[in-house]
Amino acid sequence: MEGIHLSDVTPPKFLKKIKGIIFDCDGVLISSFEANKWYYNWFKTNFGLPVMDADEERFVHAHTVFQSLKHVMPEEYYEEALELRKLPELAKALDYISLEDGLLKLLEWLRNNKIRMAINTNRTDSLSAVLHKFGVESFFAPTVTSTLLPNPKPHPDGVHYILDKWGMKREDVVYIGDTWVDEKCACSAGVDFWAYGNPKLNGSIYINDYWVLKNLLEKAKNNVWTECL
């Protein structure tokens, strides 16, 4: 069954009562497709290789840096490429990142209404720099990166870790993501999946606009959720 595509006329009854939201990072909190292209093409051109094709661009947007470098670089260059990750000049990738429109107001509303927020991402040590750039570090706890636990997404370890930290059941939360990796992660963990900006995914809800989501959550809390008390 196809999920609900949120719009200004969506009845708030379609939004279940939630206690927490788990966010992916790239493509959900931030617009970073161009940043990822710049970053991995830097490695390609540095080794005299052609820039990524469309399939490679999609791959690096969803996977860890280790998986991505292994995917786009010849095996003989992989270890050297890992070492080059430490170069300060690669921080320039942050210049290509922007916060998703309407996200900040949504985060503020969630915090004001005591709905917990966490991140489950396949980024590594770059997550803290991304959050600091936009001043949104305080909204999220915990933040799960690909190196925190033994198994990165799509394995459900990150979701289980967050639920344990929050002391919540899986039905208390939703997972917002934009790739099949997020969809599979949420499904494996038994958590409701809300797809952001990607109608091709199998989500119970499809979000294209955070302003619309915030307004519907507000209506649901003030009307639908209060009836359940």
Secondary structure (3-state) at 27: coil
Position 229 scores a pLDDT of: 45
**Nearest Cα to 136, choosing from 106, 91, 163?**
106
The 8-class DSSP code of residue 51 comes to P
H helical segments located in 17-167: 33-46, 54-62, 65-72, 78-84, 103-112, 127-134, 157-166
Compute the Cα dihedral for 17, 21, 26, 30 and give only its sign.
positive
Q: What is the pLDDT of residues 41-85, one digit of tens each?
A: 999 999 999 999 999 999 998 899 999 999 999 999 999 999 999
On average, the pLDDT of the chain sits at: 94
Position 227 scores a pLDDT of: 57
pTM over 0.85: yes
Q: What is the pLDDT of residues 115-125, one digit of tens each?
A: 999 999 999 88
Q: Which domains does the chain have, with CATH numbers?
A: 4-31+98-228 (3.40.50.1000), 33-96 (1.10.150)
- Which region holds residue 93: left if phi is over 0, alpha if psi is between -120 and 50, else beta? alpha
Backbone φ and ψ for 108, nearest 5 degrees, come out as -65, -40
H helical segments located in the chain: 33-46, 54-62, 65-72, 78-84, 103-112, 127-134, 157-166, 180-189, 210-219
d(CA 159, CA 53): 32
Position 124 scores a pLDDT of: 86
Cis peptide before 154 (omega within 30 of 0): yes
Q: What is the pLDDT of residues 170-221, one digit of tens each?
A: 999 999 999 999 999 999 999 999 999 999 999 999 999 999 999 999 999 9
Q: What is the pLDDT of residues 1-44, one digit of tens each?
A: 478 999 999 999 989 999 999 999 999 999 999 999 999 999 99
d(CA 136, CA 128): 10
